[in-house]
Amino acid sequence: MDFALIMFIALLATGIIWAADHFIWAPVRGRTAAALQKAGKPEAVVDKVRHEPLIVEYARAFFPVILIVFLLRSFLVEPFRIPSGSMMPGLVAGDFILVNKYTYGLRLPVINRKVVEISAPGRGDVMVFRYPRDLSVNYIKRVIGLPGDHIVYRDKKLFINNLPMLQTPAGDYTYTESGDHMIFARILKEQLNGLEHTILHGEGQNPGVLEFNVPAGHYFMMGDNRDRSNDSRYWGMVPEANVVGRAFLIWFSWDYEKEGLLFRLGLGKGGVSWTRIGSSIQ
């Protein structure tokens, strides 16, 4: 079940219990306690009748907390965890990120319907969205194609509206996958109409020529780890209705190399990746 839906149900339940007690149950308890007191009953008996039930205490305590968290997650920022290496080298598995929920417009929680237009996703943005084939799953990729764009991916190079996106070699990159599987890749700096970001290319993999037209109200998404990303090249475009927000900050990071081959060889850092905490997402 979607976490926003769970929070909404909890908010609704605690709010109803608290309101019902305030307007119905508490006055009844008060009248009953007053009658018992007038009848000369012991104070302990009167206090027991006047005391609010445990479920009401919990509802009154949790309702404002749930309300604040629900509003923050729905309209300001929401935390996410990076589950895979599809956005390496910029984002790695174990990064915990914050996503701006209002930069692309305010949306009603749970139903994800936009009610206030602010701005649209821009080319090069790192965006979180609902996976078109399973709306309960959130994906994070980079916006490559905007509505109306013509995208060609040929020999691992991008062409947008017939213009090549410049790629400049920037070194080598090694990481582990599935614990012990060593991956060797090349780092390249790619220009997206003047916006620079880093990508990875593996060795010996060439998808040939892929060509796409981005329809109105949709976006073409790709992972920065180009050879190991499940993205729009394989399952299509992302509708505007699926947009969640723009990723902007790494607030915590855990190095999973501690569980892999590099760590056992004495080369992995392991544990908290302190140098990544607080990094902005480009």
Token duo for residue 63: 């309702």
- CA 183 from chain center: how many Å? 26
Closest alpha carbon to 82 in 259, 251, 199: 251
User: How would you classify residue 110: left for phi > 0, otherwise alpha for psi between -120 and 50, otherwise beta?
Assistant: left
What is the Cα–Cα distance from 116 to 108, expressed in whole angstroms? 9
Tell me whether residue 253 is one of the annotated catalytic residues. Answer: no
CB neighbourhood size of 229 (10 A)? 23
Q: Which of 86, 232, 253, 273 is catalytic?
A: 86
* Whether 41 is catalytic: no
Residues 6 or more apart whose CB falls under 8 angstroms from that of 220 comprise 143, 144, 145, 146, 149, 151, 212, 214, 232, 237, 238
Distance CA 140, CA 91 (A): 10
DSSP alpha helix (H) spans, 143-231: none
In angstroms, the CA 75 to CA 105 distance is 9
Sorted by sequence, the CB contacts under 8 Å of residue 265 that are 6+ apart come out as none
Which residues are known catalytic residues? 86, 141
